[in-house]
Structure 1
Amino acid sequence: MKTPQLPPLIIKKSPSAFYVYTYKNKWDPEKKRSYRASFKKVGTVTSGEKEGRIRWDDHFLAERPELRDFICERKGKDYVFTPMNEGGFTLSQAMEVKQLHAGATWALDQLVVQSPIGEALKTAFPQRRDYLKVLSIAYFIILNQDNNISKYPTFAEATRLPWGASLHPSSIGRIFRKIKKQQIEKYFSALQEGLIEQKREVGDDDKPGLTHIIFNETSLTH
């Protein structure tokens, strides 16, 4: 996997955070030297310090979609990229996943694996692995009495989720705002077909579908 190339960047401190900016130089004919004339914010250092993981702004990711496949950290003056796997984890994070609070999500994982939920989500939300993000947000909604989405980052830091990368509350809002009616219909259609096929295979058409309990009134309707 080819490491992304970044434009010239500079870190600027605000009262509450360190932000990452691109800039353009302009030539000063009198002083006969160039200077930084314009700046554009493209990300935030999530550690609150000059060094740490970078959360790129959506407009910058739209311009450089290859950045979605990497975790980027600022170390000294360098920007270090680590490839992510399908679940949004780096290899080292995957090795450490056993340390996360995974008991409750493990149970949900088993339900997803043993049901058509995963394939139905993948059919309806294939873009940018959104199906993993939707599933992770659904886990949060199911496992928390307080569904205040601003608490998702804290929950995700201590919980093993299908999508292991960071999701900011504003990003979560955008994920749900861009869900179209056709995608929801495609999801439920694929889910229903999967359930029918699954029940046909086991010869049991009378059991209620537990998968509807999880997604009918939670993730896709919030």
Structure 2
Amino acid sequence: MTPNTDPRTKYTQPPMPEQHQDPQPGDTARMTPAPDHGEETYRGSGRLSGQRALITGGDSGIGRAVAIAYAREGADVAISYLAEEQEDAAATKSLVEEAGRTCVTLPGDLRDEQDCIDAVEKTVAELGGLDVLVLNAGTQSERAPDAQIDRDEILNVFTTNLVAPMMLMREAAPHLNPGSNVIVTASIQSFNPSPDLLDYAMTKAALVAFTKALAEQQGER
């Protein structure tokens, strides 16, 4: 019998070291304490055997955790990420391949419509189809009071967090068969927004509405 582990002392304890990721998105190597993506703990049981998944923002953070979990559950995965995050992407690819699965790497910028198109096309071509679309990529920046945000900065957040998921879903829809899944990463910001994340919070609330409407639209098929 394996003895219980005391959950009160199992994980890193407060106070946590201050973190400031600048510029965003952050690099895994600079984070302290190191994030736990499940590298040493996640155990799969074949629940996604034979599935093929596209995970946006799959190089680090939530995206890496999803890629690890899916691979250990038996899925092949494709991960999209910004080209400058190649080091994190390579580490995620290695973890997926250690689980015995295929990992397609898709460097690009999802603010570009063609990169959204290419991400889906390359996933389908290299994995032989698409069963799970994980719309996870996003960006945020701390904002000054009184909505003092440059228009270009607002558009950057809106294009990354809202337009890209719409474009990816548009391209993926013809490839999704009955039993397929679309998963959207929202945030506590969608219902408990922070004033210094004004534009980001707006996008996460919108993503909740998008997910609900998409479920109504796609449910029958």
TM over 0.5: no
TM-score after normalising by structure 2: 0.29
Structure that is richer in strand per residue: 1
TM-score after normalising by structure 1: 0.29
> Does 1 or 2 have the higher relative contact order (CA < 8 Å, sep 6+)?
2
